[in-house]
Structure formats: C-alpha cells, structure tokens
Chain A
C-alpha cells in the first residue's frame, strides 16, 4: 500500500497533465501533422495574424470583462445580504442554475431572447451573450463569497456596531476589507468561466459576436490545426495564472 499509492498518484497526475503537455509540445512543431519536424514559433505568430482569431479574442475579452464586473458587483451585494439572513429561494435558485445543464440554460435563454425580440425588434448579438454570461456566472460569485463570509467571525461586525458604527460603516470598514481577497478571487473565477464558455454562448450569439471558444470549436471539428494548439497553450497558461492567483487570494486570511 505504501508503494502503491504514490505510484498510482503519479500515474493519475500524468493522466491529468499529459494531454495538455502533448498539445503544448506540438504547438512548437514545424509541421501540420503529429510528427516532430523541428522547433518553430510560426503557429504563434500565425494566431496574431489571423483576423478572425484576433476579433474572437477581443469579443471574448469584452464579454468576459463586462460580465465579470456586473456579476461580481451584484453577486457580492447578494452574498453579503444572504449571509446576514438566509433567503431560501434565491440561494436555491443559484445552486440550481449552477447545476442545471448548460444546454438547458442555453436553449431557455434562446427562446426567452427570441420571444422578447419579437416585441422589441432587436436581434441576438454581443448584448445577449453578455446577459447570458452575467446570469450563469452570478452563481459562482455568490457561492465563492458566501463560503468566505461563512468562515468569518460575526462578532467583528457586531463589535463595530456596538462601538457606534452604522450598518454601512460596519460593512465599509470591517467586512469589506476582510472580504476583498474573496471578491477578487470570485471575479477571476467569473472571468475564466465566462472566457471559456462555448455551449450557452453558441446558442445566444448572433452575427458578429463570434467568441474565441466558438472559433476553437469550429476548428476542432474540421481537424487538427497547430494554430489551435498554439492558441490553446496561450489560453491555458493565461487562465491557469488567473486561477492560481484566485486560489492564493481565496486562502489568504
């Protein structure tokens, strides 16, 4: 048993990381096929010279940034109020939205937007994608921040109130500073979830709102392209760094 567990863990970590490492290694391969032909950076420069990829990246960044700002703001306020006093239906619906299959969330938003637009004479586009992203990332924000609030010592805020602070001052000068790392962690998580989403986005996106995951999906269906490998490496490294920062902040006391 003493020998089995470490050996097994090694194998498990290889299983988790080998596919990504292989993908990364072949993003530097000087050939379109999976045979090593020498080292090159050309796929990386290719990504930056591909107008569709650049536009997709900009769209994804815009969507993720707007969705993150709104969801973090709304989610932080809600989590704080829910921590003070439970509101079963809201907490329940947030968990439900977190667990509900993406495809169901996607089609329900699609029929909702199309129904609304029937009256409003609007079309699917970046705005519908942003609204969808705010909705599904809200649950992540509330749950991360609520978890952090639950680890708090409630008496700190009560002490502030006893010392003459009003509710707002107690929140502003006691709870908010303690909560800040949690808020940043939630925002970073929100950004990664939004930046990565394909299923819901593809259903509510209209013309001129193609995101990076939609382009990667289309390229993945066509076949292997080293440009996608290069792009994947950049996204994985970028998101990985965000997740590491977020994890560090979340644990900070």
Chain B
C-alpha cells in the first residue's frame, strides 16, 4: 500500500513538473514565432531589394555587353580588365584624391567648431543642432544654393562686378575646386558630430594641468586635446570619406560634367554609354572600397550613427 501510494505521489509530482515545463517551452515558441514575424518583413526587404540586386550586378559584371545595352553571354572578366585602362584609372585616382582633400578640409574646419560647441555649456545642444539642421534639409537644394552663388551670373560675380573689382566673371563654378567646396559643405556635419562626441568627454582639468606645466593654449591643444580626440577624428574622416568617394550629384552639378568621379562613370555606363557589364564592374569596385573603409570604421560606427 505504502509503496503504491508513494508511486502515485511520484507520478503526480512528475505531471506537475511536466506542466511547469510545458509553459516555458510554449512561451519560448511563441517568442520565436513573434521574433520571426517581427524580423521577416525587414529581412525580406533587405534580401530582395538590396542583396539580390547586388548579386545581379555581380552577375552582369561578368557578362558581355549587349548590342542595345543590357547584357548577353559569354561570361568574361573583360569588364574588370578594362578598369586598368589609364582612361579609367585617372577617374579612380581623381575620386580618391578629391575625397581625401575634401575630408582633410572638413577635419581642419570642423575641429575648432566642435571644440567650441563642446565648451558652449548650456547652449551645446542648440549649437550642435544648428550644424545638423541644414544637413537634414535637402542636399540637392544646398548644392543648388552654391550654384546660385558661384555661377558666371551668380551673386558673387554680380556683386564683384557691381563693385568694379572685376570686369569679367570669375570662373567659380564647373571646376574641381567647386566640387570640393560642395563636398565640404555637404558633409561637414559628419565630421563635427563624432569630433564633438569625443571632445565633450574631455576633462577641462587636463588643459588646466597643461597650462600649469607651462604649455601655451596652442601647445595644450596640440599635445593634449588632439591625441585624446583621435578616435573621433578617425571616425569623422571615414564618415566623410565614404560619401565623398561615391559622390555623384555634387560632381555632376558643380563640376558641370568636367570633373568626372567614379559615381558619374557608373551613371554614364548605365545611361549614355550603355555598357552595363562595365558599369556593374565599377559599381562593385566602388562598393568594395566602401566596405574596406567600413571595416576600418568597425564597431565605432554603430555608436556614432
């Protein structure tokens, strides 16, 4: 009797235990189902409208040029070989050079501004927002605004002529300098933001210490502030360099078709030149360069963006 009773008791505890176990399992299943439900639309969009198109571009880059645009067999690596044609190497080199110069100017211009904002006390947020505000309005319109200023019949030339400083309009627009100016204007906020983030954390006592030890303000900035803000500088440089390298609109409008960068070459191959395989190969080259820079940015990017 006794043993039978205890047996039933054990069975009962077992069922209770099982019941207790059933609940968390089913909850986990519901959780997994919800997670799948939440993630699948985004995963579907990224797979079908981002990755699949890139795969098609990769496939096209290995095909031959069709007679009326488009692509056809046979498979070939000719498009990749053509990149090494001096005609195109010049464009690649120019893009890297313009992006590097614009990034350097952004760094030099943004550093004092970020330092000022970091020390602006209660007006910090306002000052930072004033930098970001034009950035979030239309890029196209900001480019157009500079065209309005720099044209032969633009505001600057008109004013200078009215003041009799010049007699013929200065060629301010449609050259490489104008493209660099446009890129600096467009991406300066990308440099200010990460610089500000590192400079804001800077302990002012460090500067006092440097001053006590006899450093002039300029020396203190060069030997104390600059080394500390290096992570922000690196992040800012990469964040500016990436969009500058792939720029299309700025060289197109402010370079007037004379300063051709990689982006313009890609667009040209898909529209006017109708050489899709070559356009696809250059697109992937540009993408590879961006990936390379993004790897250098690493995990820092996630904190900053």
**Chain A contact residues, CB within 8 Å of chain B:** 1, 4-6, 8-9, 12-13, 15-17, 19-20, 22-23, 26, 33-35, 73-75, 77-78, 80-82, 84-85, 87, 90-91, 93-105, 107-112, 115, 131-132, 134-135, 138, 142-143, 166-168, 189, 192, 195-196, 198-199, 203, 213, 216-217, 220-221, 223-224, 228-229, 232, 235-236, 239-240, 243-244, 247, 251
Contact = CB atoms under 8 A, between A and B. Distances in A.
Contacts of B294: 95-96, 99
B131 A16 contact: yes
Contacts of A131: 49
A235 B136 CA distance: 12
Nearest to B149: A19
A221 B173 CA distance: 12
A80 B145 CA distance: 40
B134 A20 contact: yes
Contacts of A84: 35
B101 interface: no
Contact of B147 (A5, A192, A224): A224
B193 interface: no
A203 B270 contact: yes
B136 A9 contact: no
B87 interface: no
Contact of B141 (A102, A109, A232): A232
Contacts of B39: 77-78, 81-82, 87, 90
A143 to B, nearest CB: 6
Interface of B: 27, 30-31, 34-35, 37-39, 41-43, 45-46, 49-54, 56-57, 60, 109, 112-113, 115-117, 119, 125, 127, 129-134, 136-149, 151, 153-155, 158, 162, 185, 188, 217-218, 221, 242-243, 245-249, 253, 263, 266-267, 270, 276, 279-280, 283, 286-287, 290-291, 294, 301-302, 305
B112 A17 contact: no
A228 B147 CA distance: 12
Contact of B249 (A75, A112, A199, A224): A199
Given A9-B117, A217-B140, A111 B276 contact: yes
Given A19-B145, A78-B39, A196-B139, A99 B242 contact: yes
A114 to B, nearest CB: 8
A240 B35 contact: no
Closest 4 pairs (CB-CB, A-B): A101-B246, A78-B42, A108-B53, A112-B53
A143 B246 contact: no
A104 B286 contact: yes
A94 B53 contact: no
Given A9-B117, A84-B35, 17 more contacts: A6-B116, A16-B131, A16-B185, A17-B134, A23-B144, A78-B41, A82-B39, A87-B39, A91-B302, A99-B290, A100-B287, A104-B246, A110-B270, A166-B27, A232-B144, A235-B138, A244-B129
A57 to B, nearest CB: 13
Given A19-B142, A78-B41, A198-B249, A101 B302 contact: no
Contacts of B34: 81, 167-168
A19 B146 contact: yes
A217 B253 CA distance: 8
A77 B141 CA distance: 33
Contact of B115 (A5, A166, A168): A5
B264 to A, nearest CB: 8
Nearest to B265: A103
Contact of A243 (B133, B148, B270, B276): B133
A23 B145 contact: yes
Nearest to A8: B112
Contact of B148 (A34, A97, A111, A192): A34
Contacts of A112: 49, 52-53, 56
Given A107-B57, A167-B30, A196-B140, A77 B158 contact: no
